[in-house]
Structures are given as C-alpha cells and as structure tokens.
Copies of this chain bind each other. A is one copy, B any other.
Amino acid sequence: MSGDRTQAPFGRRSAAITAHEDHGAYVVLRCSDPAGPRPQAGQFYMLSSATRWGGGENERPFLPRAFSVLRAEHRELHFLIEDVGPGTKRLCELRPGDDLLLVGPLGTGFVSPREGRAPLLVGGGVGIAPLAIWQDELGGQAPALLGFRDAAHAAGAVLLAAPRVATDDGSVGHHGLVTELMTERLDADDHVEVYACGPPAMLEAVRELCARRDVPAQLALESGMACGFGACFGCVVPTRHGLIRLCLEGPVLDAAVLETAVVAGAGH
C-alpha cells in the first residue's frame, strides 16, 4: 500500500523461540527479536529454522518461507503457522530452545481507513494472521469476520477479539462462507473499508463484492516467494498495471489495482 514501509535490518538474523502454542490446526510460534523494529500490520518475514532446514519430504525445504506477522509485542514476534508442506511442517516442530532465522519486516502494511469509513476485517483460514495485529492497532474494536474449514481450524479464531465465525461444515458459527457474513454486514452498513486476507478464492469473492458495492478494500495476497526482498522477481502477481513483485509492492494491495485476486500457483 502507499504507507512508508518499516525497513528490515539488512541481513538474516537468528531469533530464539520463546513459545509454541497449539491452536487446533494451527501453531503459534513466538520468538524474541530484540534487534528488529516493530513491524507494521500486514508486513511479513521470511522464516527458516536454524537447524535442519532441508532433508524433509523430497529433500526440501530449501528456500525460506513467508509469514505474516500475527502480533508484535514486548520485542517478541508471533507467527501463525499451518502445516501444509515441508517448510511449515519443520517450523511447526520448533520449540523453545530452538532458533528461527528471519529476514524482515518486509513488504507493505495495511493503511488506515479512508475518511468516514470504519474498518471491517475479513479473514479466511491462516489468513487471519495479519488481521490480528491490525485489529490491535485499530484499537481492538474493529469487527472481524472469520471463515474456517472446520472446528479444528476455527480454533484460531481466539486470536482476534470478538470475531464472528463461519465454517464450511457448520461445526462452529455460521454454516457457510465468510463472504455471506460480509454481505450481511455490508447490507446493514457499507461505509466501511475492508481488510482481507485468506485463500485466493475467498479474496476474489471479497474483491468482487467490494467492487460491486464500491467499498474500498485492502487485500493481503500470497504468492510463491524465494527471497522476499525483490531480488528474484519470482513472486509477481498480475495487476491492472502489469505484473508486480508482491514482496515489494505488496503483500497488501489496494483491491482497485487488481482484476482478480486469484494468483497462479498460490494457495493449496
């Protein structure tokens, strides 16, 4: 987005894990980062484990992995991680006493709602992570609508204040899509600015809904990344102005620049 980014210390630094918490299908890792700046909500870090990064399924992971910051307090960074492959699996194994290697904060963060608009947070799955820190920064009152696959995933909802939850299988909260909750909200009052993060299909539904109703939205996207700092040109996503490097110009993008929020190769 347009705000001045918080820049990262140059280099990769080691950060001691201070806590590992299980939240249903997710793990929250906390690490101490005394040398790093306070990140902006929506910024991300490239993470790897200090040992045994490599040698997993098919000899991977090799490259670091991108993670939104979930929270940053008391010189600690929190990350929300879903085990979906060799890199996230390895990170989920880490415990206090282990070290992370990290580069960041990287990319752009969310910016305050436009004049006269109230924030509305819409998250799907592990995409709730950047909304947690953003809700904090907005004063803890911003309404949050969160969608999950099932109860195991919905356990992550406790990470935000007073969320309304939807699950695909109806096991928790509304039985259906989070965008249904969002439509309800917009029907009641559409003087909002939407902040959304989640799987590509959800983000695309949010984008379309907002576009149709002329509601501004800031979307935190994902795409496959190798470096996270603009070096590889690997993370491009299509926008109305051509392909842009998501790690540099994003991950938070104004929905208006997107024709679609579906990025080839992103998501599971």
**Hey, which bits of chain A sit against chain B, CB under 8 A?**
52-56, 59
Seed contacts A52-B55, A54-B54, A55-B56; 9 additional CB < 8 Å A-B pairs: A52-B52, A52-B56, A53-B55, A54-B55, A54-B56, A54-B59, A55-B55, A55-B59, A59-B59
In the assembled complex, which residues on chain B have CB atoms less than 8 Å from the CB atom of A52?
52, 55-56
Query: Can you list 9 A-B contacts with CB-CB less than 8 angstroms, sorted by A residue number?
Result: A52-B52, A52-B55, A52-B56, A53-B55, A54-B56, A54-B59, A55-B55, A55-B56, A55-B59
Q: Which partner residue on chain B sits nearest A61 by CB separation?
A: B55
In the complex, the chain B residue whose C-beta lies closest to that of A60 is B55
Residues of B near A56 (CB, < 8 A) are 52, 54-55
Which residue of chain B has its CB nearest to the CB of A58? B54
A157 to B261, CA, bound (A): 67
Question: 6 shortest A-B CB distances, which residue pairs?
Answer: A55-B55, A54-B55, A52-B55, A54-B59, A52-B52, A54-B54
Among A54, A55, A59, which residue has the most Cβ atoms of chain B within 10 A?
A: A55
Min Cβ gap A180→B in Å is: 43
Least Cβ–Cβ distance between A250 and chain B, in angstroms: 31
Kindly report which residue of chain B lies nearest to residue A86, judged by CB atoms: B55
* Bound: A55/B56 CA distance, A: 7
Query: Which of chain B's residues have a CB closer than 8 A to the CB of A54?
Result: 54-56, 59
CA distance A54 to B52 in the complex (A): 8
CB distance from A55 to the nearest CB of B (A): 2
Distance in angstroms from A27 CB to nearest chain B CB is 19
A89–B59 alpha-carbon span in the complex (Å): 18
Within the assembled complex, what's the spacing in Å between the Cα atoms of A59 and B55? Answer: 7
How far is A52 from B55 in the complex, measured between Cα atoms in Å? 5
A249 to chain B, nearest CB (A): 33
Residues of B within 8 A of A55 (CB): 52-56, 59
How many Å lie between the Cα of A157 and that of B32 in the bound state? 46
CB distance from A89 to the nearest CB of B (A): 11
* List of B residues within 8 angstroms of A59 by Cβ: 54-55, 59
A56 to B54 Cα, complex, angstroms: 7
CB distance from A92 to the nearest CB of B (A): 15
Give Cα A53–Cα B54 distance, bound, in whole angstroms. 10
- With a cutoff of 8 Å between Cβ atoms, the chain B residues found around residue A53 in the complex are 55
Q: Nearest-CB distance from A146 to chain B (Å)?
A: 35
CA A55 – CA B54 in complex, angstroms? 4
Bound Cα distance A243, B176 (Å): 71
Q: Given the complex of chains A and B, what is the CA–CA distance between A55 and B59 in angstroms?
A: 7
Q: How far is the CB of A62 from chain B (nearest CB, A)?
A: 8
